[in-house]
Homo-oligomer: A and B are copies of this chain.
Amino acid sequence: MQIGELARQTGCEVETIRYYEREGLLPAPARSASGYRRYEPGHVEQLNFIRHCRSLGMSLADIRQLADYHRHPAPEPCDRVNALIDDQIRRVHSQIETLQQLERQLLALRGRCHSPHTLADCGILKTLEDASSGEPCACHPPATGKKIAG
């Protein structure tokens, strides 16, 4: 099949497929006399593998590793596969925690301006301004030993 058909079957953009080939994620297919890429059914699965891993937030470098393990299922232990997934879980978890803290900070900042104000009176701008001068701000309370609410 041609690249357009592969794209349709996998829901992946044509440009992305060519990009994966350049990046060594998808093996280069045979070419027709006129230089068109000719894919086999196996390519559909390989591309699905990549897209599935991407949907799990994995980096292309990690996927390259996983795809290699998948293509060459040696009798060695699969510790590295597990470690790779564990790392990904840790990364995602720490991103969640960072974003949750961010959300709390943003909500605190947002709480500084409710009723209609002018720009000159906006509690949000005032808070940001004070913070720029080194004053303590609502959004970044001193976290040294003290609980936020308790």
Contacts and interface: CB of A to CB of B under 8 A. Distances in A.
Contact of A52 (B56, B120, B132): B132
Nearest to A47: B132
Interface of A: 45-46, 48-49, 52-53, 55-57, 66, 69-70, 72-79, 81-82, 85-86, 88-89, 92-93, 95-96, 99-100, 102-103, 105-107, 109-110, 113, 116-122, 124-125, 128-129, 131-134, 137, 139-140
Given A103-B93, A110-B89, A69 B132 contact: no
User: How many copies of the polypeptide does the oligomer hold?
Assistant: 2
Q: Is the interface of A mostly helix, strand, loop or mixed?
A: helix
B81 A118 contact: no
B125 A81 contact: yes
A119 B74 contact: yes
Contacts of A140: 52, 55
Contact of A103 (B72, B86, B92, B106): B92
Contacts of A137: 52
Contacts of A56: 102, 105-106, 109, 139
Contact of A99 (B45, B70, B92, B133): B92
8 contacts: A45-B129, A48-B131, A52-B132, A57-B102, A69-B125, A74-B119, A77-B117, A89-B110
A55 B105 CA distance: 10
A124 B92 contact: no
